[in-house]
Amino acid sequence: MTLNQFSRRRLLQTGAAAAAGVTAVPVAALARAAQEEQAKPESLFQGDADSFRTSLQNAYLFLDTMMDAYAQGSTTRLSQSYSDDIGLESTAFVYDNAVEIMARLLRGLGQDLARAEVLGNGLLYAQQIDPAADGRVRQAYFVDHPDSTGAFIVPSGFPFFFQGSATGDLAWTGMALAQLANRTRIEAYLDGAVRLGNWIFTNTFDTRGAGGYNFTVGANQVKSTEHNIDVYALFTMLARLTGDSATWTGRADHARIFVDAMFYAPGGFFFTGTGPDGVSINPNLSQDNIPEDVQDWSFQAFLNSDHAASIDWCKTNLAVTDTPQTYNSDLVPMLNNNNLTGNIRVSGVTFATQSMRPPLAENENAESACFMAPSDPFSNQPSPSAVWLEGTGHLAAALLTRRLPRNRDIDGFNGDVDTARILLDNIRVAQNNLGKGQHVGGGQPFIGLGRPAQTIPDGLGVIAATSELNTGFGFSYKRFLHIGATGWYAIAGQTGNPFRLGLGQTG
């Protein structure tokens, strides 16, 4: 694809080594105007800017550690998503890597841009080697050993199976490549994003009900509000980058109409999506379990003041505080010479409404307050007070995008910047105190690829959740270091918006 606004330089299509070796064309650094003082990272912690700046630097050191666990330099690779301790081996989720790319582009210092390109090359390589050869990527890959070309990107398999291609995962991959294309002017990143966009349109476009795009390829698919927000963001970026505004804006509007239909004005929130009929709101997945991400991401993507109440719904209805004394908390104080140590309190938001009322054990009633253990054998008892730290970063970023002043905020709050500052400070507390002694680099011991793991220095990364968090959607978040949670902390801490081209800092 030839585009007037892009240089003719592009990544070579053959081999990981060639893909990794391309150098970007530098463009102007991304920064807000000086008069936007309230949105500057330093102003979020006016009394303690140095510690906040150090905290953000530590977050990037953690991302470096996870990215370099098995290969370094320009070697084509992706970052392992979680510490080894979670038991997912070297799994790298494409969504997490998209978040990391955007966090690196947002700071743009030192090796950030080069590292973002390496990860972007990794996503292009995953797209290039996919057996379907139709532009898709998979949900995740193993990254602890090279394939025949030397790329540390291998399709995931035993004992985990993350080989699906959900619409949201593909859209986030495309968003990251589009942001890279916008920043570097390397055409291959845009080519990859366009291929992902075309795959989504060709395979998931739906006309049932309010339209929108299905969860993935196939008949009788549910439709996710979150995924359609992601698709809108990607297609809007492509409308600007390709110059084909008519095509991509029309495709984006198809997602926007669906998202608008999912807004429940009396409650001020968005439903999760539809059931398999593609029309009705699924009571099991939507009315009874309202998630955090769509409430915040919707505003970041659409900047629609008519639906901005979803941010306020999120910061009130999903607010939680985890302490050592909350039910089933993993923040248990440690006994040291008969003195209690490790006192801590972390506040933020949870994943969804059901996360605050985990399912009851079989044959138990509500009065018993006996929570069942998740089906995951590696899980602990879920805590209704667990803080989802990635989601807390989502909310902080949305607040810093909206920036409602105190005199227009809801009762009990002092303006969006103040609320965001408090949320970010709670993530910093978790970063400093939780997830200590975890590891990376151990590989896949189940298939003979185990190796000595390195201990991740304490105080660098952000764990996924402060305690076992049952999402209500069939999976849990756990107290293990996570590049997605860390990346969102870095994005929010620098007032970034991944859903807008230029990350909310330009354009």
d(CA 199, CA 94): 16
**87 in the Ramachandran plot: left (φ > 0), alpha (ψ -120 to 50) or beta?**
left
User: pLDDT, tens digit, for every residue of 428-461?
Assistant: 999 999 999 999 998 765 444 556 789 999 999 9
Q: What was the pLDDT predicted at 336?
A: 56
Residue 166 lies in a domain: no
SS3 80: coil
Q: Angle, to 10 degrees, between the axis of helix 49-67 and the axis of helix 416-433?
A: 60
Residue 505 lies in a domain: yes
Question: CA–CA distance from 313 to each of 186, 292, 293 (Å)?
Answer: 40, 9, 12
d(CA 493, CA 52): 9
Q: What was the pLDDT predicted at 332?
A: 81
d(CA 471, CA 469): 6
User: pLDDT, tens digit, for every residue of 14-34?
Assistant: 233 333 333 333 323 223 332
d(CA 277, CA 263): 19
Residues 176 and 501 sit within 8 Å (Cβ to Cβ): no
Task: Kindly tell me the burial class for residue 50, based on how many C-beta atoms sit within 10 Å of its own C-beta (0-12, 13-18, 19 or more).
Answer: exposed
**Which stretches of 244-341 are DSSP H helices?**
245-261, 293-302, 309-317
Question: CA–CA distance from 328 to each of 77, 118, 332, 384, 438 (Å)?
Answer: 38, 41, 9, 8, 21
Residue 254 lies in a domain: no
SS3 59: helix
Q: What was the pLDDT predicted at 159?
A: 52
Residue 412 lies in a domain: yes
Residues in the chain where the model's pLDDT stays below 70: 1-43, 46-47, 157-161, 282-287, 333-341, 358-379, 444-451, 506-507
Residue 332 lies in a domain: yes
User: What's the residue count for the chain?
Assistant: 507
Q: What was the pLDDT predicted at 360?
A: 52
Residue 322 lies in a domain: yes
Q: What was the pLDDT predicted at 380?
A: 72
Which H or E run includes 494? none
Residues 64 and 115 sit within 8 Å (Cβ to Cβ): yes
Residue 395 lies in a domain: yes
Question: CA–CA distance from 279 to each of 6, 153, 258 (Å)?
Answer: 41, 38, 10
Residue 361 lies in a domain: yes
Q: How many distinct structural domains can be found in the chain? A: 1
Phi, psi of 281 (to 5 degrees): -70, 125
Q: What was the pLDDT predicted at 93?
A: 97
d(CA 334, CA 437): 15
List Cβ neighbours of 313 (8 Å cut-off, separation of 6 or more): 267, 268, 269, 295
Q: Angle, to 10 degrees, between the axis of helix 94-107 and the axis of helix 167-184?
A: 30
Its pTM surpasses 0.85: yes
Domain membership of residue 445 as a residue range: 37-50+311-507
